[in-house]
Each structure stands twice: as structure tokens, then as C-alpha cells.
Structure 1
Amino acid sequence: MARIGMTVSDTVLISVVIPTYNYAHLLPRALDSVLSQMADDIELIVVDDGSNDNTADVLAGYVEQHPELNVIWQANAGAAAARNRGIRNASGRYALMLDADDELLPDALAALREVVAAQPQVGMVLGAQISVFPDGRERLRQPAPVPSASPLELARLYLLQKRISISHCCSLFRRDLLLKRPYPEVLRNGEDIPVFTYLLVSAPVVVTEVPLARIYKHADSLRHRRDNEEEYAIGMVREVFAGLPAECQSLRRRYTAQRYLSLFRAAQNAGDHAQARRFYRHALCVSPLQVLRWGYLRKGLRLLVGG
């Protein structure tokens, strides 16, 4: 591991961690959005995940101008490994994970500082975001309210009903919880879901309507890829429930069925009807209730009867 520009302080409240891989052309936007808000209780850590563009040159230039910037280099290991490395090397009570192609909004860190000062035991702060689409359109998205409920109910609302939304860049996490439940490095995408679920059920959550970040949407997002999709779905279920308390384990079959329903929808959209039928049958065997709740019954029956 190579590291430059290191400072350590016992008074750090928020560590902003930026994992980056071949984003030299966009990284300055993210860096500037944080550096403009720097204070004695803020630290900025960038983890270069083995970039082979000119990321190293960009970061070297920033360190020359901003010696407080911490830069860590590692061989390419994926976003999960980069986030974990940054969290382990951070010193703040809280961590904000900023993607290299996104940016914080002005005064975002000041707003978060006020929230945690008022509620110091909070485990997660969910803020608003501005979504920026490829055509330049912007949309303000407010976070959904998070009820005071049992871990089982919170997991159900997040995993099965999707009534709670959590995103990087506009969320703040207590770092000790991230150390207890690191991002699963066996997942090369979607690695945030197991972590978000664990955070949700482990400590109080506060919602703020203050917009914290501008998040840029990309048409080539990994979530649209279908390679190794079934293996990924099974691994996702395993990682999600590995970190959850015993009372939440009753949701495992329904969540497994939901992952297969997602595979069913992707296969159907791709015109792969044979795979779609197989995924639908599997979901139906695992949890008929979840299949009915998801409203896929009509599509599934039509596919089964037709083939």
C-alpha cells in the first residue's frame, strides 16, 4: 500500500472516503466539492483502486496543493475492497462514501454536523439528493421516512417492499458499524445492500430533507449486466443475511424468491423466455407468497402456459 499526504487527528468527526478507478476526468469535481468544505473535524481519503489512467497524476497535483488530502493506492480489487480500505484507514466517528463521479453539495458537511450534534447516537443519516440524468435533467429526491420499528420490520421494508431507500454520497454512516460489517468483497456490484441492511437494523436512523449530493446516473450501470446473474443473486442473499440478527432470518426465503423474480424480469426483458420460466418457477417454489405480492403472477402464468 502506498499512501501520501497523511494527517491524523483525534477530533475528526466525518471521514469522506472516495474510492476511484479510472475516473481521472471526473475525480476533480468530487475532490473540489469536499475540499471547499474542509474543516478541522473533516478528513478526506481517496483510495485509488489500481487505476491505469492518469488518476495518479491528478491526485499528486491535488496533494501538492492540499497536503491534508490522504491518498491510498492499492492493486485493483473492486469497489468493496477500496471502500473497506478507506474505512479502516479513516479516523472519523462517521464516514461518508462519495463516489468519484458524484459530488457533494455546498454546506452538506455542515448540515450533517448539525444532525449528529443533535443526535450523537445515530447510526445512519439519510439525506436528499439531486439525481442528474444523462440528458442533463435533474430531479430532487427526498429520502423516505424511516419508522421506529423492530429490526425485522425495517429489514422487510427495505429488502422486500423497497419502502426505504439508501444511497452512497447522500448518507452518513457510523464508522464503527462499518468496521463490524465491511462491504463483502466477493460481490463486485451490489455490495452496498448487505451493508445498508445491517446499518438499518443496528442503530437509530435520522432523515434530513437537506440535499447533500448531486448523483450522476449512467446508462452503462453494472446493475444492467446479466453475466453470472444467478451466482450473484445467491451470493447476495448469503451476504445480506450473514450480518442480520436471528429475528430477521425468517425473511430469507422471501428475499431469495425476490432475487429470482428480479432475474425473471431481466430475462423476460432480454427475450430469454426459457431462463425467465426457470427463474419464475424457482421463485414460486421458494416463496409463493412473495411471488403473489410482487404482482408477477399474471406475467408468470402467461409465460408458463405459453411454454
Structure 2
Amino acid sequence: MYAPAFSVVIPCYNCEMTLIRSVRSVQAQTFTDVEILLVDDGSSDKTLGLAQALAHNDDRILVVSQRNAGAAATRNRAVAFAKGRLIAFLDADDWWHPGKLAAHHALHAARPELDASFAQIAFMAKDGHEPLTRSSVPQGLLSIVQVLRENPVCTMSNAVVRADSFRRFGPFRESLTHSEDQEWLARMVFNGARIMGIDEELVAYRTNDGGLSSDLEKMYDGWRAFAGDYASSEVTRQCEAVYCRYLARRALRLSNAAGQALKYTLRGLHLDAGAFLSDPRRGLCTALGALLAPMLPPVVRTRIFA
């Protein structure tokens, strides 16, 4: 049976406004040995019809439909169909730069011992046209502390994993509706997975006030549901303080969450002020931003804290 180099997994739920751009970014890749798996998760809009139309014009696309089950179950379902040696995940409201798959293919060819890889992200304004800021990529292999604190991978749209590694370390935890991607990464690293970043901007991540990633309290609940499984209580407390800083920064770049920014800042400082302020540029800036947020226009907050 022919096995492509990549299986691209795109979970689809009510994404009629963004799906085409995401799929087109895969079709525009300079590395073309791919299959594209679109799994419709019980959408109530035109998503399924759009996916089928895209598949009609590209025989690399397979469309699967299911009753609504959530992002974790949808990704797991797609992987069950995957034939590629590498699995690349893409959310249906994000998109890739044309060299994304080529860069990951080159890294994994040069470093066959790696289990997974990621890259730098451009955080985009809601209109999808203007990058607000870019993520940083730590050097070397990811540690469990890095994953638990602020998760440099950030989004599944950034993750590429060897298919055999995915099956060895296990699927996404379907009981989690938030932070299931971070739990999956933490479980991999905790059990010895080798994950490395590419210091190159390859992913466009669309900020969305109404998306799952904007439901900050549920993200926090999801994080607390698994973090203690992978670190001592002392390390978990330090990581939680920094994770609160991460949530505060997310709140500051949402148009209607300034009050949440102060709540997470105070929570993080209470848990471990030293950890919260461990990176002065991020810690002090976040604390000051949370205090001043009611006086800052949303567009200013977004540019500073994206």
C-alpha cells in the first residue's frame, strides 16, 4: 500500500468561513507528497459540503463525517485513517506558509530519532491579514517544564509527529474538551519523546474571541486536570504560576477579557511570585498590563500581548 510522507489532519466544525483558506495552504505546499484528511465533526453549517467539494477536485483529500464528538475525538478518528509516515495537524481556522511541510520533512530526515517537531507561529489579527507578533522557539529538546508552563508548540496547527510515535505514546485524551493538546504533549515528553522546534515562521494562527482557546477558565480547568500527573507538587505549583501568566496574556489580547487578565495575574503571583516574574519582560509587563488593561484600547493590548 502506498504511504505518503505526510497525512495532514484537519478537524472541521462549523468552519465554512475559514476551511477553504486552510486547505488551500496545504495544497500550496512546496512539498506535495501528502494526503489530506478532513473530518467533519457534526457541523451544522456548510462545512461538510465545502469539504466534499474540495475533495471532488483533489484526489489527495479524504472526507469523513461523524456526530459531534469534540476536537480530541475528531483528531483521533482522522489518525485512524492516516497512511502517512508523518502526521501534521492543522486547525480549520489557521493556515501554513508554503514551506511548512518541506521544513519538517528536512528536519525529520536529518534527525530520524525525533518523535515530533514544531515551528514559529505568527499570531494573526481576527481579519487574518496582519500578523500581530510571533512566537519564539526554544533551543534543544522540549522539557516537561516548558510544556507545562507556556507550551511553546501553542497550537496543534504547529505540530508534526511521526505516525509510529503517535501510536506509541497514545491518542488525545477525549475526556478533555480543553487543553487536550497540551496534555498529549506533556504525556509524550514525560514518557521520553524527543520534540524539537524549527526557528522559522511556518504557521499563521488566527486569534478568535469566540474559539475554544479563548475560553480561559475551561483551559485552566483542563490544565489542572492533568498537570499533576507529570510533575512533582512543587514543580506543578511553579508551572501553574507561569501558566496563569500565560492565561493573563491571552486575556489581554482578547477584546472583552481585561478583568480576567487581572484575576490570573493575582492568582499566579499568589501561587509563586518568583515563577510568575521569572522572565521580567513577560512577568512585569503582564502584571502592569493587567493593572492598566481597563485604560488600554483593545488594539493596543493585542499588539503588546499577542
CA distance in structure 2 between the partners assigned to 1:41 and 1:287 by the alignment? 48
Q: Which of residues 139, 152, 158 is equivalent to 1:146? A: 139
Whether the 8 Å CA contact 2:147–2:185 is kept in 1: the answer is no
Q: Which amino acid aligns with 1:178?
A: F
CA RMSD of aligned residues (A): 3.8
Identity of paired residues, percent? 26
Q: Larger deviation: 195-204 or 86-95?
A: 195-204
Change (3 A) 1:128 1:50: same
Structure 2 segments unaligned to the other structure (5+ residues): 252-256, 289-306
Q: Which of residues 41, 49, 53 is equivalent to 1:57? A: 49
CA distance in structure 1 between the partners assigned to 2:277 and 2:237 by the alignment? 14
Q: Aligned-pair distance for 1:46?
A: 0.8
**Bigger-Rg structure (1/2):** 1
2:235 matched to which residue of 1? 251
For the residue of structure 1 that corresponds to 2:137, the secondary structure is coil
Q: Which of residues 202, 213, 217 is equivalent to 2:203? A: 213
Report the TM-score, using the length of structure 1 for normalisation: 0.72
Q: Aligned-pair distance for 1:281?
A: 8.2
1:157 matched to which residue of 2? 146
Q: Aligned-pair distance for 1:53?
A: 0.9
CA distance in structure 2 between the partners assigned to 1:70 and 1:167 by the alignment? 23
Q: Which of residues 153, 160, 164 is equivalent to 1:172? A: 160
Q: Aligned-pair distance for 1:183?
A: 2.0
2:180 matched to which residue of 1? 191
Q: Aligned-pair distance for 1:61?
A: 1.4
Whether the 8 Å CA contact 2:242–2:276 is kept in 1: the answer is yes
2:254 matched to which residue of 1? none
CA distance in structure 1 between the partners assigned to 2:232 and 2:83 by the alignment? 31
Change (3 A) 1:287 1:36: closer
Q: Aligned-pair distance for 1:195?
A: 1.5
Change (3 A) 1:222 1:287: same
For the residue of structure 1 that corresponds to 2:25, the secondary structure is helix
The size of the alignment, in residue pairs, is 276
2:297 matched to which residue of 1? none
CA distance in structure 1 between the partners assigned to 2:134 and 2:261 by the alignment? 34
For the residue of structure 2 that corresponds to 1:101, the secondary structure is coil
Q: Aligned-pair distance for 1:253?
A: 4.1
Change (3 A) 1:183 1:67: same
| 1:116-153 Cα distance to aligned partner (Å, 9 max, x none) | 111111122221233221254224625322335xx8xx
1:102 matched to which residue of 2? 94
Report the TM-score, using the length of structure 2 for normalisation: 0.73
Q: Aligned-pair distance for 1:256?
A: 5.1
For the residue of structure 2 that corresponds to 1:184, the secondary structure is coil
Change (3 A) 1:175 1:146: farther
Q: Aligned-pair distance for 1:216?
A: 1.6
Q: Aligned-pair distance for 1:221?
A: 3.4
Q: Aligned-pair distance for 1:100?
A: 0.6
Q: How does 1:227-246 map to 2 (within 5 A)?
A: 229=217, 233-242=220-229, 244=230
CA distance in structure 1 between the partners assigned to 2:260 and 2:96 by the alignment? 39
CA distance in structure 1 between the partners assigned to 2:199 and 2:276 by the alignment? 34
2:116 is equivalent to residue 124 of structure 1: yes
Q: Aligned-pair distance for 1:76?
A: 0.6
Whether the 8 Å CA contact 1:261–1:280 is kept in 2: the answer is no
Structure 1 segments unaligned to the other structure (5+ residues): 1-7, 300-307
Q: Aligned-pair distance for 1:290?
A: 5.4
